Structure 1
Amino acid sequence: MKSYLTPVNEIEKNWYVVDAENKVLGRLASEIANRLRGKHKPTFSSFIDNGDFVVVTNAEKIVLTGNKINDKKYYRHTGYIGGIKEASAKELLEKHPTDLLMKAVKGMLPKNKLGRAQLKKLKVYAGKDHPHAAQQPVELDI
């Protein structure tokens, strides 16, 4: 028996809005990654982008369990010799609150062209407001 493959023009992409206030970072990121990939749909295929759009609000009020807020480190490199930079989760949350969730979700997506396309469907905002009201996103309770 052959598996059913949904044609690309028939894939329905919904919009969801998630309030990240008092939500644990990893648990929220894994659920968002599943929505972006489309794993919650019966028509899931690992090589087709059939996931939904996700809008996250209140990213500045996200919670990390234990002492991860101080212990968890994020690294980046400037490209120069000895140019490695380090920031704790607390520093990242204060300066760029949206980056914390984006990095967590990015790590849970495939590391290829498809994963980069799926990450573009994630919209993260530090505050309560977002400019995607025209898409009529449905409130998603995670």
Structure 2
Amino acid sequence: MNTYSAKASEIQKKWFIVDAEGKTLGRLATQIAYVLRGKHKATFTPHMDMGDNVIVINAEKVTLSSNKELTKLYHRHTGFFGGIKTQTAAEIRSTQPERLIELAVKGMLPHNRLGNECYRHLKVYAGAAHPHTAQNPEALPERTISK
């Protein structure tokens, strides 16, 4: 028996579109990360970028469970002494609603060069309009992750 390892020339990337309206942030992020990584394909190879491109629209309408809107904190550091900045999910949603989904998905991808490459295939937009109609994206199936 031989283990199949995909070659770079054999990888075929598709474009998927996801409407985030009314979806829970964490559950949506796991499905997106799964597709970006390429685990939904039968030819998945762990050390290659096998994933597809994902477009997320209506990011401002994603829901957070219970009271996470006010209690979930996002931290970042400016690089200067005492430069830690903390924002709640509600503050981020009011200024940059795309960042909620981007941060959730980025945390679910590998924290190395391969994860950075997969993250570049994610496009998130606050409203329903997006500039990727030429790629003919198809809707992401609801049950991407098999249990």
TM-score interval, normalised by the smaller of the two chains: over 0.9
Q: Which whole-Å deviations, capped at 9, do the CAs of 1:10-62 have from their partners, x for residues lacking one?
A: 11100000000000000000000000000011111111100100000000000
Q: Which whole-Å deviations, capped at 9, do the CAs of 1:70-93 have from their partners, x for residues lacking one?
A: 000000111111111000001001
SS in 2 for 1:41: coil
SS in 2 for 1:100: helix
How many pairs align?
A: 142
1:141 deviates by 4.2
Residue 100 (str. 1) matches residue 100 (str. 2) = yes
- Counterpart for residue 120 of structure 1: 120
SS in 1 for 2:108: coil
Residue 138 (str. 1) matches residue 124 (str. 2) = no
SS in 2 for 1:75: strand
SS in 2 for 1:47: coil
Uncovered stretches (5+) of structure 2, i.e. residues with no partner: 143-147
- Give the aligned residue type for 2:35: R
1:43-54 aligned at under 5 Å gives the runs 43-54=43-54
SS in 2 for 1:9: helix
- Give the aligned residue type for 1:132: H
Residue 16 (str. 1) matches residue 49 (str. 2) = no
Determine the C-alpha separation between the residues in 2 that align with 1:22 and 1:93. Answer: 15
Residue 42 (str. 1) matches residue 36 (str. 2) = no
- Identity across the alignment (%): 53
Determine the C-alpha separation between the residues in 2 that align with 1:6 and 1:110. Answer: 19
1:137 deviates by 0.3
CA RMSD, Structure 1 to Structure 2 (Å): 0.7
- Give the aligned residue type for 2:93: L
- Counterpart for residue 145 of structure 2: none
Determine the C-alpha separation between the residues in 2 that align with 1:63 and 1:141. Answer: 19
Which stretch has the larger CA shift, 17-26 or 3-12?
A: 3-12
1:36-115 aligned at under 5 Å gives the runs 36-115=36-115
Residue 4 (str. 1) matches residue 4 (str. 2) = yes
Q: What TM-score do the two structures reach when normalised by structure 1?
A: 0.98
Determine the C-alpha separation between the residues in 1 that align with 2:110 and 2:79. Answer: 25
Structure 1 stretches of at least 4 aligned residues deviating more than 4 Å after TM superposition: none
SS in 2 for 1:86: strand
